[in-house]
Structure 1
Amino acid sequence: MIGFPIKKMAYTFALAFTALAVFPSFADKHSEKEIILVSEAWEDATEKDGSGLYFEIMRRVFEPLGYSIKTITTTYSRSVYLVQTKKMDAFLGSYIDEKEKILYPYWHFDADQVSAVYKASVIPTWEGEKTLGNRTVGWVKGYDYSDYIDTKFNIHEVKSRRQGLSMVYSDRLDVMLDARKELEEEFALGYLDRDDFEMVNIMDLKLYPGFADSEKGQELRRIYDERFEELLAKGEIKRLYDKYEWEYFPFSVSSTP
């Protein structure tokens, strides 16, 4: 017990050192007109080369006001850490009030259709959220789906979707939760037979940018809300969704959040 705080402190310092070693520019003071966005790499949304729907939305919001956008991709959990510690300005793809020491705006930019993947041999009949009760349920580390589900179950975080789905296949996990789009893209890689699994949608969760809790972050949040609402009303957000052939447009005709 005496060694635990020391071990935890050492881990924290190691994580911070790793972040600086891999991305040395994090520690450099960047221009007030430069916005550093960090995100997990998602296909057609936040690509490693800086392209994608989500990055383009953020550029459309800020660049007309003279800001420049710099994008970096890493794991979701590290994205959160880098913004919580104010080394970066914002991360993408957070659920509302999901993380501490983060500023959340009024407007979401997308929504996850969260799905459960399981084997019929393990769960013969799906009866809604209560089906998860007392089962072992997994998701990628950092996603914290338990905050949005009332049913109690055993949580097992995994490092990747590949690991999670493989554990469902080998009966080491009863259920894997993730965004439906991400799950379908993972199945498309072909290392598992999609027909061996069942998939059901269990909820929709709106996605927000998470801004650093700083004066700059407060200003960026204010600008984001004003500009996003303007672009949405003009139909520019819908045109971006159409450009990327996005399957789901999470806004009503009246443009209410």
Structure 2
Amino acid sequence: MRLWCLCVLLGLALNAGADSVAGFTASHIKMVNVVAPEWPEYSNKDGSGLYWDILRAVYEPAGIRVKPSTVPWNRALKMVTEYRVYNAIIGETRNSSEPLLYPRYAIDVEYLSVMYPLTARINWQGMNTLKGNTIGWMKGVDVIPAKQRNFTLREYRSSAEGLQWLQQGKIDMMVDEWDAIQLALEDAGVGMDYFEVRDMPNGRDVYVAFAEGAVSEYLISEYNRRIPELVASGELQSLYRKWQAGEMPAQVKALLKTASAQ
């Protein structure tokens, strides 16, 4: 009976959200469970990729094993924020309304895509192209602040719905992550031959976002401590070069100047 109770307590210590972990020290944290959608070269299903390699470089020297999982975004987010199955999710932005904790340093810069039908014969002129049009993006994602909008906004609940609205003429353009657009097109059996896709000019920092709790607070402090060390040693730069993917965020690039000055 005592052995069973001990196993349960240790299991809770590794669980992302169990409140009882507050009494455990960092030495009890042997594994971090991290989830992300399957993004080729970033978070491959086999555990390879830029994001997984960065997290291993952060945590494994401290004796914390990284356990990667690939799950579609909406389900992955719930499994971090509601069910606490995972410690963290990769790819969230700081303006999210979800109950998450963030480290000081972002892991990547994400550029959203703008898609519109070729039949619309739109002459792309950057952000000015949005003016006067009806633009759709995911509900809850504040791509452009309200005061800066010179267009009509319609928020959809899924990329599939956004694509449907675009086809039906309910919106003139949809702004979304390219991976989400691509998946919506595949699921609908629609080819890219009918659309034009452009990148939004300004990227957004994306983070490894952690579930609330004492374990996450330690994991975040370790992340914040290790990233400057990885920059100073050149290991982080090597990982970005190795995968030829992602972009070092501005606050991480700033560490390069500090490292070179030393």
Residues of 2 paired with 1:99 and 1:186: CA distance?
A: 24
Instruction: Name the counterpart of 2:153.
Output: 153
Instruction: Name the counterpart of 1:90.
Output: 88
Q: Which of the pair has more CA radius of gyration? A: 2
The share of aligned pairs that are identical, in percent, is 24
Instruction: Name the counterpart of 1:230.
Output: 229
Cα pair distance change 1:79/1:174, threshold 3 Å: same
Q: CA deviation at 1:173?
A: 4.0
Cα pair distance change 1:241/1:149, threshold 3 Å: same
Runs ≥4 in structure 1, deviation > 6 angstroms? 184-190
Provide structure 2 residue ranges, at least 5 long, that are not aligned to the other structure: 1-10, 15-28, 257-262
Q: CA deviation at 1:200?
A: 3.8
Instruction: Name the counterpart of 1:104.
Output: 102
Instruction: Name the counterpart of 1:37.
Output: 34
- Higher mean alpha-carbon deviation, 151-160 vs 127-136, is at 127-136
- The CA RMSD measured in Å over matched residues stands at 3.3
Instruction: Name the counterpart of 1:6.
Output: none
Query: What is the total number of aligned residue pairs between the two structures?
Result: 225
Q: What's the CA shift string for 1:8-28, capped at 9, x where partnerless? A: xxxxxxxxxxxxxxxxxxxx5
Cα pair distance change 1:157/1:123, threshold 3 Å: farther
List aligned pairs for 1:112-151, cutoff 5 A.
Answer: 112-122=110-120, 124-126=122-124, 128=127, 131=130, 135-139=134-138, 144-146=140-142, 148-150=144-146, 151=149
- Give the letter for the 2:30 counterpart: K
Instruction: Name the counterpart of 2:254.
Output: 254
Q: CA deviation at 1:233?
A: 2.6
Higher helix share: 2
What TM-score comes out, normalization by structure 1 length?
0.73
Instruction: Name the counterpart of 2:211.
Output: 212
Provide structure 1 residue ranges, at least 5 long, that are not aligned to the other structure: 1-27
Query: Is 1:36–1:70's contact at 8 Å kept on the other side of the alignment?
Result: yes
Cα pair distance change 1:101/1:145, threshold 3 Å: closer
3-state SS of the aligned residue for 2:254? coil
- Give the letter for the 1:52 counterpart: G
Residues of 1 paired with 2:186 and 2:143: CA distance?
A: 29
